Structure 1
Amino acid sequence: MFLAWKELLYNKLKFSLIIGVLVLIGYLLFLISGLSNGLMNMNREAIDTWDGDAIVMTEESNQNLAQSVMDKDAVEGDFKNVAPIKNTAVIASTDDRKQNALLFGVEKDTFIEPEVSEGKMFKDDFEVVADDTFQEKGFKIGDELNLAGTDESLTITGFTESAKYNAAPILYANNDTADVLTNGRLKDKVNAFVVKDSDFKDVNVDDDLQVIDTESFIKKLPGYTEQKLTLDFMSYFLFAISAFIIGIFLYVITIQKAPIYGLLKAQGISNSFLGKSVVYQTLILSVLAVIIALALTLLTAYFLPPVVPIIFKWQLIAIYAATLIITALLGGLFSIRSVQKVDPLKTIG
C-alpha cells in the first residue's frame, strides 16, 4: 500500500487521467441507473400505490387494460377483497394548458382510492383527483378541465402523488363519470378488478377471465420490459468498457515503469509485492472515482427539472459501485502479468 500510494502522489497527472475516465463512466452509469428507475417507476407507480396482489382481466384482452371489459359482478364473492376499475384516455385542457391523461373510475372507500396530498377527495360526478403532474404543469384546484371530443368538463378537487400508469398521469373519478365519458360503454361493466388476496392463485374464475399477479401484469405494460432491457444492457456494456479502459491505462503505465520494476526486483523486491502494489493502486483509483462520480450524480439530480424522472435506489447504487470497483480491479490484473515478466538484468542493462 505504501509503494502504491507514493507512486500515485508522484505521478498525479497520469493517474488523474485514469480517475477522470472512471469518474465519467461511473457518472454515466449512476445517471442511467437513476433515469432507468425513474422511467420504470412512471409506468408502474399507480399500480404500486394500489398495493394489490393480482389483476383480473379478460383472456382476450392480452393483458391490455383498455381492451378488457367484463360484468361488474364477474368475480363477486371469489376473492377476499376486490376493487373494480374503469379506464379511458382523455385530453384535458384549460384555456392555456393541455395534458394527455388516463381517467380511472374507482369506487370510494376501496383500497385503490387515491390518497389526497392537497385539496379534497371527489364527491360528485365530474369531480376528479389529479396526479401531481397536473400541479407541476400549472393546473390548480378548482380548474375546469375541458375534454377533447366531448362537451363534458371535469373539476379538480385535489391532487395525489405517485399516480401514473404507463407514464400517463391519472385523473381519479367516480364510476358514473367514467360511464359518461365512455358513452355508456362501461355501464354495469368494468375494465378489471384489482385483487387484494394472498391466496388468489387458489381461486378458479370463469374460463374467459384470467388472474395475473401484479408483477407479471406490470412487465406486460407496453414498452416496460423493452425499456428496462435496453437500459440494463447499456449498464452492462459500461462495466465491460471500464474494465477494458483501466486495463489499457495500467498496462501502458506498467510498461513505462519496467526499468523501475527491474531495479526493485534487483534489490530483492518480490513479484507478489509489486503485484499487490498494482492492485492497491487500482483499488484506490476506482474508489476515488466512484465517490466523485456519485457526488456529481447527486449534484446533477438536484438541478434536474421535475419533468425528468430520476429515482435512486441506494441498494442498486451500492451494487453498481461495488461492481465498478471489481471490474476495474479485473482490468488491473492484466498488468500484474507484465510486472512478473520484467527481467531485472535486461531492464538495467
Structure 2
Amino acid sequence: MCGLLGLICATETDAAAARDAVAAALRCQRHRGPDETDTWADAEVVYGFNRLGFIDLEHSHQPLVWGPPEAPTRYTLNFNGEIYNYLELRAELAEKFGTKFNTDGDGESVVAAYHHLGADAVTKLRGMFAFMIWDAQDKVVFGARDPFGIKPLFYSSGPGGLAFSSEKKSLLELSGTLGVSEELDRTALQHYLVLQYVPEPESLHTGIRRVESGTSFRVVPGGQVEFTRYFHPQFTAKPVDGEAEAEALYERIADVMRDSVSKHMISDPDVTVGAFLSGGIDSTAIAALAKERNPSLIAFTTGFEREGYSEVDVAAESAAAIGVKHVVRTVSADEMMEALPLIVWYLDDPVA
C-alpha cells in the first residue's frame, strides 16, 4: 500500500506556491508508505508520494521519471498498486518496441506502456492500481483506476487547481489551497444510511468525488478533467449440461483461483507475506493456495472476547490443516472502543 497525491494548477506560479501545501497534506497519509516520502514539481504539476516498497526496493523510487532515449525525462509517474503481469508486459514492450527499462519494478511498465499504447495501455494491466502520468511534452496528465476499484483515488477541483489523492483526508487538508468547500453531501449521506456504504463517485463531502473503478482520465492544466470508462464487464448466463461439464467448470475455477493467488504474491524474496484467515471457506481456500506458492506464509486471525462472535478456534483448525504459522490477536471491547476514532479517521468514509 502506497499513497499518492497530485495537484494540477492552471499556472506554474500557482504550482510553485502550492508545493509546501502538498507536502503538508501528504503527511495525512504517511501511514500508507513508511519507506519513502517525497514531493516533486514540474511546470503546473506537483506530486507527493508515500512509498511502501515490496518490488525492486532499491531502484523503483517514486515519483518515477521515465522516457524514451530521445526524451528520457518526458514522463513522471505517481503510482499506487501492483501490476501482476508486469514481467510479461515488459517482455512484450521490449520485443515489439525495443523498450529499455532502468529498474526491475512494475511501475516502469505502466509508464512505458502508456508511451507506446496511449490510453489503451490500461487494458493491458492486470492488477490493482491507481496512477497519474504527467507528460511534460504534451502538457497533459493521464491516469486510471483498476477495474474493480481495489485501489482508492479521490479528486477535488476548485479555483486553485485539481487534485487527486489516495485518501480523502489529504484533499480536505488541501481544501483551502483548492478553494473547495468542506460541506457535507446530504445525498451521499442518504445513500450511506440506506446502503451502508457510499457509492461511487460520491463521497460524504460535496467538494470531493471518487474516480470510478475501471475508469481512466485525462486533464490539461487549467482544463476540465475528462473521464473514460475502459472496463465493461459482461456476465452471460449459460446452463451447465451434465456432470462432465460441471466437473470441467470446477477445474477451471480452481485453475483461475490458483493463478490469481499466485499472481497476487509477487514480491521481493525478503518481503514477508501473510494472509487473513477467518476460518471460512473463502479465506481458507486462498490461504491454502497461497501456501502452495510460499511455504513460509503466515496466517493472521482477529478474535473477540464475546462468545459466539469469534472464529479463532475454527481458524486455528484451518491453519493446522493447511500447515501455516498462525498468529491470533484477540481484541477486547475496551480496545475496540478506544480504536474506533482512529478507525473512522483511516476509513475516510464509513462502511457498514
Structure 2 length as normaliser, TM-score? 0.27
Q: By percentage of residues, which structure has more strand?
A: 2
Structure with more contact order per residue of length (Cα contacts < 8 Å, sep ≥ 6)? 1
Higher Cα radius of gyration: 1
